[in-house]
Amino acid sequence: MEKELFEKVLNAIVEGIIAIDKEGKITYMNRRASLILNVRPEDVLGKYVVDSIPNTRLHIVLSTGVPEIDRIQNVGENVIITSRIPIRDAEGNIIGAVAVFRDITSVQKMAEEVTNLKEVEAMLSAIIDSTNDAISVADAEGRIVLVNKAYTRITGLLPSDVIGKPATVDIAEGESIHMKVAKIKKPIYGAKLKVGPNRKDVIVNVTPLFVKGEFRGSVAVIHDVSEIIKLTRELEEAKRLIRRMSARYTFEDIVAVSEKMKVAVEQAKKVAQTSATVLLIGESGTGKELFAHAIHNASDRRRGPFVSVNCSAIPEGIIESELFGYEEGAFTGARRGGKKGLIEEADGGTLFLDEIGKMPLHVQPKLLRFMEEKEFIRVGGNTPVKVNVRIIAATNMNLEELVEQEKFLPDLYYRINVFPIHLPPLRERRKDIPLLTFHIIRKLNQEYGRSVEGISQEALKILLSYDWPGNIRELENVLGRAMINMDMDERMIEPHHLPPLEMSKKGETFVKKGTLKELVKEYEKKIITMALKRTGGNRMKAAKLLGIGLRTLYYKMEKLGIE
C-alpha cells in the first residue's frame, strides 16, 4: 500500500525522476520523466542507463559520488535542468543514483522574450527622451503611465508627480485631452491648454492607442507655445533672408513653344541686359514671378540680392515700414536700432514688386520719389539712404483704369511702364500645355515621392479642351490632384484620374437662364455624369473622384435622375 502511494506521489509531481542501482541499471522512471525524454519505462527498466538515456551523466555521478546540481542539458529540441545525486547506505557506501529534472524550454523562451522586451523598452525610452517635444502616455482609464524628460522641462512636473495619477493632474486650465480621447476613441489635434504650476501655454495632439483592435490608452505630444512663437519669428526672419537671396529660375525653366510665349521670352531676354524698369502684365498664374527670376538671373545683377514683395500680402498699416525700413523709436513697438527695409535689402540687386496695383495710394508717392531719385528716407528718419536697385513690377490688373479711377498715381504708372511685357494666359498658348504637363509631373514626382511617367492622349485632350481660368497654377493643381487619385503602381495619368473640368470648356459660354437652384441642379447632374463616364461607370471610383461618400453619390444620382 505504501509503495503504491509512493509511486502515485512521484507520478504526480512535475519533475522527471530516474533512479539507477549500483551497477548503473535503471530501477525507476516516473511518468513525467517518460514524457520529457519520450521513452517508455518498460523499454528501459533493468537496462544500463548509459545505453538507454541520451546525454545521461548518472553513471558518472555513480562512479565519482559527486552530486551535480542544476545542470542545463539539451534533450532533442528541449532544454532540461537536472540535479543528479548519489544514493548511499547507512555506512556511506554508494548503492545507486537518482536524477531529478524539469523541462525548462518554455521558461527559457519566456526569459529570452523578456530580455528582448527589456532591450526594446530601453531603446524606446531612449528615443522618447531624445525628442524636444513633451510626451505623456495614459492607459485606457486615463491614468498617466509614462512621461519623457521634455515633459518635465515644459510642464515643470516630475514623473513622480504624475505617473499613476489621473491625466487631469497636470492641467491648470482646460480639459484633459487624454480623458476626452478615452471617451471618443478618436485623435484630437491642436488643443490649447495651460499645464503645470507655471500655467504654461501649450498645444496638445493626442492619438488613441489600439492593440489588436482594443483601446489600450493614448499618447499626447505637447508643444510649448512660447517655443512655437520663437520658431515662427525665426522662420519669418529666414523667409526674409530667403526672399532676399534667392532667384531660383532662369529662362531655361520657361516653357515657350507657342508664338506668344516665344515673343514674351525674347522681350524679357533683351531687357534683362539693361537696367530698365520692367512691368510684367498677365493674369494670375501666368508665371510673372518666374519671368522676374529669369530676368534677374540673366542680368549683370545676378550676383546681387533678389527681393520679392507681394504688395497685397503686406498689411496696409506696415507696408511703408516694410519697404523703406524705420529708425529706432519711429513708432510703438519699433525694434531697437531700427530695421532695414526691403528696398535697402535689395541694394545691388533686383526688387520685384508683385501685384503693384494693390499698393496703397499713400505709399505710392514715396515709391515714386525713390524711383526718380534712387534714394529714400526711412520711417521716422531724416537722412536720405541711397541704393542701387532695379525694379521689376507685376500686375494682373488694368493700371490705366486704376489711374482713371484715381487709385494709382499717373506718374508712378509711367515710371514702371518703361518696358511692359504681356504674358499670355494658358488658353492662348495651348501648344505649351503638353510640355508644361511633362515638367509639372516631373516636379510633382519629387514632391510626392511618386514615379508617374506621363499622361495618356485621352487625358491630354481633356486638358487641351479646357480654358484654364487659373492658368499654370490651376494646371499644376489639377495634375497634383490627378496624381493623388492614382494608385501607387499606376504610371500614366488617365481621364478618370483628372478632377472635373467642365466649368469653362473651350468655346463654351455660360448663358443659360433659370433660377440659381435650377442651374446648380443641372450643373451638379452634369458633373456627376461626367465623373461616372470617366470611371467607366464605377461608382466607387466616381465618388472618390468627386470627393464624396458612396452613399451620398447614390442619393444624388437618385435625386437627379441619373441611371
For 144-154, write each residue's pLDDT tens digit.
Answer: 988 888 888 88
Among 3.20.20.150, 3.60.10.10, 3.40.50.300, 3.30.450.20, what is the CATH number of 2-107? 3.30.450.20
Task: Judge: domain 426-506, CATH 1.10.8.60.
Answer: yes
Q: Are 252 and 290 in contact (CB under 8 A)?
A: no
Could you report the per-residue pLDDT of 340-399, keeping only the tens digit for each? 889 998 999 999 999 999 999 999 999 999 999 999 988 888 889 999 999 999 999 999
DSSP 284-328: TTS-HHHHHHHHHHTSTTTTS-EEEEETTTS-TTTHHHHHH-B-T
Percent of the chain with pLDDT over 70: 87
Highest mean pLDDT among 65-74, 128-137, 501-510: 65-74
User: Cα(520)–Cα(500) distance, rounded to whole angstroms?
Assistant: 15
Domain with CATH 1.10.10.60 in the chain: 512-563
What is the value of pTM for the model shown? 0.51
Question: What is the structure's pLDDT at 239?
Answer: 55
Burial of 30 (0-12, 13-18, 19+ CB in 10 A): buried
Mean pLDDT, residues 500-517: 53
> Average of pLDDT values for 1-18?
77
Q: pLDDT value at position 278?
A: 96
Give pLDDT, residue 398: 92
In single-letter form, the type of residue at position 329 comes to: G
Cβ atoms 394, 355 nearer than 8 A: yes
CATH 3.30.450.20 boundaries in the chain? 2-107, 131-227
Q: What are the start and end residues of each CATH 3.40.50.300 domain in the chain?
A: 248-422
- State the CATH class of domain 512-563: mainly alpha
Rg over alpha carbons for the chain, rounded to the nearest Å, is: 41
CATH topology for the 131-227 domain: Beta-Lactamase (3.30.450)
Take residue 6 and report the three cell numbers written for it: 509512493
Mark residue 218 as left, alpha or beta (left: phi above 0; alpha: psi -120 to 50; beta: remaining).
beta
CA–CA gap between residue 20 and residue 438 (Å, rounded): 87
- Whether residue 518 is predicted with pLDDT greater than 60 in this model: the reply is yes
Residue 45 reports pLDDT greater than 60? yes
Taking residues 279-299, report their average pLDDT. Answer: 93
Q: Given the DSSP bridges, would you call strands 350-354 and 390-395 parallel, antiparallel or unpaired? A: parallel
**What pLDDT sits at residue 507?**
39
**Which of the listed ranges 53-62, 368-377, 522-531 does the model predict with the highest average pLDDT?**
368-377
Q: With bands split at pLDDT 50, 70 and 90, how would you rate the model's confidence at 510?
A: very low
Contact 473, 285 (CB under 8 A): yes
User: What's residue 1's pLDDT?
Assistant: 55
- All cell numbers assigned to 98: 537518482
Residue 551 has pLDDT above 50, yes or no: yes
| pLDDT above 60 for 334 | no
User: Residue 322: what pLDDT?
Assistant: 86
Higher pLDDT, 229 or 260: 260
pLDDT value of position 119: 61
Encoded amino acid at 156, one letter: G
Span(s) in the chain for CATH 1.10.8.60? 426-506
Give domain 248-422's CATH superfamily: P-loop containing nucleotide triphosphate hydrolases (3.40.50.300)
Res. 337 pLDDT band, cuts 50 70 90:
low
Q: What per-residue confidence (pLDDT) applies to 122?
A: 63
Mean pLDDT check: name the lowest of 6-20, 71-85, 97-111, 271-285: 97-111
Q: Which segment, 56-65, 259-268, 330-339, 477-486, is predicted with the most confidence on average? A: 259-268
Do β-strands 144-147 and 134-139 pair in parallel, antiparallel, or remain unpaired?
antiparallel
pLDDT value of residue 108: 60
What's the pLDDT score for residue 21?
92
- Least confident interval from 3-17, 28-42, 248-262: 3-17
Q: Give the torsion through C-alpha atoms of 307, 312, 315, 321, to 10 deg.
A: 40
Q: What are the counts of helices (DSSP H) followed by strands (DSSP E) for the chain? A: 23, 20
Q: Report which of residues 509 and 232 the model is more confident about.
A: 232
- Give yes or no for residue 111 having a pLDDT over 60: no
What is the per-residue pLDDT for 484?
87
The CA-based angle 377-383-384, given to 5 degrees, is: 55
pLDDT, average across residues 122-151? 81
User: Does residue 199 have a pLDDT over 60?
Assistant: yes
Residue 374: strand, helix, or coil: coil
